Amino acid sequence: MKVTEKKKAIFLDRDGVINKEVSYLSNPDDFEFIDGSVDALRILKQKHFLLIVITNQAGIARGFFTEETLKLIHNKMISILKQNMIELNDIYYCPHHPEFTGPCDCRKPNSGMILKAKLKYNIDLSNSYMVGDTLNDIETGKAAKCKTVLVLTGYGKEEQKKIRSIIPDMIFKNLKEFAINI
Ligand SMILES: [Mg+2]
Ligand SMILES: [Zn+2]
């Protein structure tokens, strides 16, 4: 019997980690990579991690933009990465917001999106990382029993000051510093 090897993954929050934080990013023209994040994704890929984006997009539930627009934004991200010979393994997003669409298990800090990816890709969560710029992301990673990384881009610096009971395993200046040092 062949035992398939479990894979390790980097679960990446999108806004404030990969691209510059813009409140409710709703126009592909406003999608801009954070300095070094493309390099970071390349380095992480070379280190044999699956790259999986895990993003809350409540702007859809709120009616600020549609899933079609989100697709255009993601296509822009994917095509720039492709020009740099980098491929994301998957993108999971939660389009919900409890006030508009009721509760769901995918909206971070719930770990639904990570658990879905774990089943699809046979991921070893204990050797995987959740990287985000908010303590909400850290809580998500902890709920899924991943290692957790706060980056100080996006809301990261403000969030670092709020650290009390939810403590990230690691803190890095940005995604590239994490990628180099992991
Ligand atoms: Mg974020
Ligand atoms: Zn959801």
Residue range 26-72, pLDDT digits in tens: 999 999 999 999 999 999 999 999 999 999 999 999 999 999 999 99
Question: In the CATH scheme, what is the homologous superfamily, with its name and number, of domain 9-181?
Answer: HAD superfamily/HAD-like (3.40.50.1000)
Instruction: Read off the pLDDT band of 146 (50, 70, 90).
Output: very high
Pick the closest to residue 37 from 3, 73, 88 (CA basis): 88
- Its pTM stands at 0.96
Ligand showing the shortest atom-to-Cα distance for residue 102:
2
Whose atoms come closest to the Cα of 58: which ligand? 2
The model's pLDDT over 80-116, given as tens digits with 9 standing for 90+, comes to 999 999 999 999 999 999 999 999 999 999 999 999 9
Q: Which residues are catalytic?
A: 13, 15
> Do 126 and 146 meet the contact criterion of CB atoms below 8 Å apart?
yes
Q: Which residues contact 108 (CB under 8 A, 6 or more apart)?
A: 13, 54, 56, 94, 136, 137, 139, 140
Task: State how far the Cα of 68 lies from the Cα of 77, in Å rounded to an integer.
Answer: 14
Please enumerate in sequence order all residues whose Cβ is within 8 A of that of 137, keeping only pairs 6 or more positions apart, or say none. 13, 108, 109, 130, 131, 148, 150
Which amino acid makes up residue 123?
Answer: I
